[in-house]
């Protein structure tokens, strides 16, 4: 008889799909701040740096809060974090709509919408998905991660319409109510405990082999974690320049802003294709090799951005960039699940993803600083290419131990 609650079973796919919907709805909170940034500054008479600081607080809060949410989900499951996150995003957006000063808005968005809100969704739900799957883990993680991409594709138009219709405060208030009404019922379907993974049969092995497994791919767990954190930061430092400044770069080269916006849409669309393709590849080749392929593709895209200025080649650069960056972040979750104990994956994924948050924030600022000094983004793309090469070199240090760990795992050790 088919066990619906088994690993890779129907219940697992249902949890993955609900997780996808939760990410698609709740992760619109950061996008709301981005889309409303100019409107907030104009309506309130604030300098542009004030709402920019609000955005920085929101993503930093989400990164820091994600570590706590991941730790909590490791011990109690995801229902508690998701429930708290729903109230954080929902009531946070409603309270933000009533803010009278920039510091109030930054505090609400950083603490409620970020630290106790969106932090509960991406990393904890991806970590939870890895516990439900073995053979199809890559595709499942890709499906959950696609929720963030869908949020990036759908919410900007809705938020733009809402702010133009009745101001940024109404947009924040309406979004908060929508989150409370939709996410709370959906969260009821992801709280089930993942099935226990069957213990594999063990064969007689040497003490040296057992020591390698205990040390995590031949090194201390702390060192492996630190290398993955640095890799995540480096790849996000690299991807931030074309992602944050890509439309402005297109406009600076004499093309229309609409073309820049269309190019960003192409990046997001191809990133979804990348997620599903690389997710399938991870199921066949493993997480680290898939991560290295995605990182190499992103490096090629950065070199293309730096070397080409014609519109056709810029669109080609956008396609290659989307294919690379789309599968990078989920690949880290798969690697973490492959090499660390399942009871630790929640906080480890969240804390390593925090490196990506720092990379995106720092890389976006760094690209702007380079532009202010040089008048163009070419050097920023070249620096991103260098960051990407450093990411690949660090990945290469993990590869021998990871391959050995993979062989031992297949042998049932």
57-91, pLDDT tens digit by residue? 888 888 889 889 989 988 888 999 999 999 999 99
Tens of pLDDT along the chain (413 residues) come to 445 667 878 899 999 999 999 999 999 888 888 777 778 888 888 876 677 788 778 888 888 898 899 899 888 889 999 999 999 999 999 999 999 998 899 999 999 999 999 999 988 999 898 889 888 888 888 899 888 888 877 887 788 888 888 889 999 999 999 999 999 999 888 877 787 544 444 444 444 444 444 477 888 899 999 999 999 999 999 988 887 777 778 878 888 767 776 777 788 778 888 888 888 888 888 889 999 999 999 999 999 999 888 888 998 999 999 899 888 878 898 999 888 888 888 899 989 988 988 888 788 778 888 888 888 889 999 999 999 999 999 999 999 888 887 777 665 55
Select from 137, 152, 187 the last residue of a domain: 187
The tokens describing 232, both together, are 């995540």
pLDDT at 295: 94
Q: Are 177 and 213 within one domain? A: no
Select from 152, 187, 222 the last residue of a domain: 187
Q: Are 127 and 229 within one domain? A: no
Task: Note the Cα 37 to chain centre separation in Å.
Answer: 21
pLDDT at 166: 87
Residue 410 and residue 215: Cα distance in Å, rounded? 17
- Asked if residue 389 is part of any domain, the answer here is yes
CATH code of the domain containing 132: 1.20.1250.20
Q: Are 165 and 273 within one domain? A: no
Residue 154 and residue 105: Cα distance in Å, rounded? 24
Q: Are 235 and 380 within one domain? A: yes
- Asked if residue 198 is part of any domain, the answer here is no
Q: Are 178 and 248 within one domain? A: no
Residue 48 and residue 339: Cα distance in Å, rounded? 44
Helix, strand, coil percentages, rounded to 5, for the chain: 85, 0, 15
pLDDT, one tens digit per residue, over 13-57 is: 999 999 999 999 999 888 888 777 778 888 888 876 677 788 778
Q: What residue ranges in 67-177 does DSSP mark as E strands?
A: none
Residue 101 and residue 57: Cα distance in Å, rounded? 15
Among residues 291, 299, 346, which one has the least CA distance to residue 138?
A: 291
pTM over 0.85: no
Residue 298 and residue 384: Cα distance in Å, rounded? 10
Q: Are 40 and 108 within one domain? A: yes
Q: Are 244 and 357 within one domain? A: yes
Q: Are 290 and 178 within one domain? A: no
- Asked if residue 323 is part of any domain, the answer here is yes
Q: Are 140 and 235 within one domain? A: no
Q: Are 225 and 331 within one domain? A: yes
Residue 58: domain span: 10-187
How would you class 140 by CB atoms within 10 Å of its CB: exposed for 0-12, middle for 13-18, buried for 19 or more?
buried
- Asked if residue 197 is part of any domain, the answer here is no
- Asked if residue 3 is part of any domain, the answer here is no
Residue 168 and residue 175: Cα distance in Å, rounded? 11
pLDDT at 257: 66
pLDDT at 212: 45
CB under 8 Å to 344, separation ≥6 — which residues? Answer: 74
CB under 8 Å to 75, separation ≥6 — which residues? Answer: none
Q: Are 296 and 178 within one domain? A: no
- Asked if residue 4 is part of any domain, the answer here is no
Select from 187, 216, 251 the last residue of a domain: 187
- Asked if residue 1 is part of any domain, the answer here is no
Number of domains in the chain: 2
φ/ψ (deg, to 5) at 206? -75, 160
- Asked if residue 367 is part of any domain, the answer here is yes
On average, the pLDDT of the chain sits at: 85
Q: Are 182 and 218 within one domain? A: no
């Amino acid at each position: 008889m088919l066990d619906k609650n088994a690993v890779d079973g129907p219940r697992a796919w249902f949890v993955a799909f609900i997780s996808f919907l939760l990410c698609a709805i709740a992760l619109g909170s950061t996008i709301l701040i981005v889309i409303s940034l100019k409107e907030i500054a104009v309506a309130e008479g604030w300098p542009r740096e004030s709402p920019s600081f609000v955005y920085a607080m929101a993503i930093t809060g989400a990164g820091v809060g994600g570590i706590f949410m991941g730790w909590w989900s490791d011990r109690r499951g995801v229902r508690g974090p998701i429930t708290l996150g729903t109230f954080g995003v929902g009531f946070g957006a409603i309270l933000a709509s009533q803010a009278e000063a920039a510091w109030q808005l930054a505090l609400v968005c950083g603490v409620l919408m970020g630290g106790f809100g969106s932090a509960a969704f991406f990393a904890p739900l991806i970590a939870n998905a890895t516990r439900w799957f073995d053979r199809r883990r890559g595709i499942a993680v890709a499906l959950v991660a696609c929720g963030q991409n869908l949020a990036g594709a759908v919410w900007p138009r809705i938020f733009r319409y809402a702010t133009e219709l009745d101001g940024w405060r109404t947009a924040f208030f309406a979004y908060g109510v929508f989150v409370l009404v939709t996410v709370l019922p959906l969260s009821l379907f992801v709280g089930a405990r993942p099935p226990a993974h069957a213990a594999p049969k063990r064969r007689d092995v040497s003490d040296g082999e057992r020591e390698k497994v205990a040390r995590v791919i031949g090194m201390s767990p702390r060192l492996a974690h630190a290398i993955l954190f640095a890799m995540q930061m480096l790849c996000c430092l690299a991807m931030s320049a074309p992602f944050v400044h890509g439309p402005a770069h297109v406009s600076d080269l004499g093309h229309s802003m609409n073309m820049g916006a269309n190019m960003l849409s192409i990046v997001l669309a191809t990133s979804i294709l990348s997620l599903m393709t690389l997710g399938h590849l991870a199921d066949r080749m493993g997480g680290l090799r898939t991560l290295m392929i995605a990182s190499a593709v992103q490096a090629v895209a950065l070199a293309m951005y730096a070397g080409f200025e014609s519109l056709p080649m810029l669109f080609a650069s956008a396609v290659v960039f989307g294919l690379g960056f789309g599968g990078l972040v989920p690949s880290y979750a798969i690697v973490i699940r492959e090499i660390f104990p399942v009871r630790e994956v929640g906080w480890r994924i969240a804390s390593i993803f925090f490196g990506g948050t720092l990379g995106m924030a720092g890389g976006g600022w760094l690209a702007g600083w380079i532009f202010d000094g040089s008048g163009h983004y070419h050097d920023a793309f070249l620096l991103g290419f260098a960051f990407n090469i450093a990411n690949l070199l660090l990945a290469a240090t993990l590869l021998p131990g990871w391959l050995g760990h993979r062989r031992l795992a297949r042998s049932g050790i």
